[in-house]
């Protein structure tokens, strides 16, 4: 499902509850600044989530926590300044993570330790 470039500013609770078999969700280039903690609940088969080029200031930890099948997460080109400790809990299948072009001042070592299958990480264009 690609709903990129639609000026979406927030995702409400259960926004995608009717898509239990969805494997890819593209939300790039919107004006997302808020993702309800339960906005993505029910997306048990989701493998790819693109949230780049939005207005996020932090990793939407609670919203992505239940995405156990997620393999690719794009959070690049937002305004992320910090990565909370629990940001990637439950993402045991995550292989690719983009955090480039944000406002990070340090490598989020502890949150990344929760990603046993991580193969590629991009942190370019930050303030590290």
- Give the model confidence (pLDDT) of 29-59 as tens digits: 999 999 999 999 989 999 999 999 999 999 9
Give the residue among 31, 105, 118, 32 at the shortest CA–CA distance from 72. 118
Q: What mean pLDDT is predicted for residues 1-10?
A: 98
Residue of 79, 19, 7 whose CA lies nearest to 49 = 19
Q: What pLDDT, on the 0 to 100 scale, is given for residue 101?
A: 99
Task: Please give the share of the chain, as a percent, with pLDDT higher than 90.
Answer: 98
Rounded alpha-carbon distances, angstroms, from residue 118 to 32, 72, 78, 84, 96: 26, 9, 21, 18, 6
What structural domains and CATH numbers belong to the chain? 1-128 (3.80.10.10)
Summarised one tens digit per residue, pLDDT across range 52-109 is: 999 999 999 999 998 999 999 999 999 999 999 999 999 999 999 999 999 999 999 9
Residue 66: the pLDDT is 87
């Amino acid at each position: 499902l690609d709903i990129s470039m639609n000026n979406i500013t927030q995702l409400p609770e259960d926004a995608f509850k009717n898509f239990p078999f969805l494997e890819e969700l593209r939300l790039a280039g919107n004006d997302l600044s808020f993702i309800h903690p339960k906005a993505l609940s029910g997306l048990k088969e989701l493998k790819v989530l693109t949230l780049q080029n939005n207005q996020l200031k932090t990793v939407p930890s609670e919203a992505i926590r239940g995405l156990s099948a997620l393999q690719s997460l794009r959070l690049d080109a937002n305004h992320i300044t910090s990565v909370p400790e629990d940001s990637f809990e439950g993402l045991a299948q995550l292989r690719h993570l983009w955090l480039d072009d944000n406002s990070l001042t340090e490598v989020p070592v502890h949150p990344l330790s929760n990603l046993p299958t991580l193969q590629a990480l991009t942190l370019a264009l930050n303030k590290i």
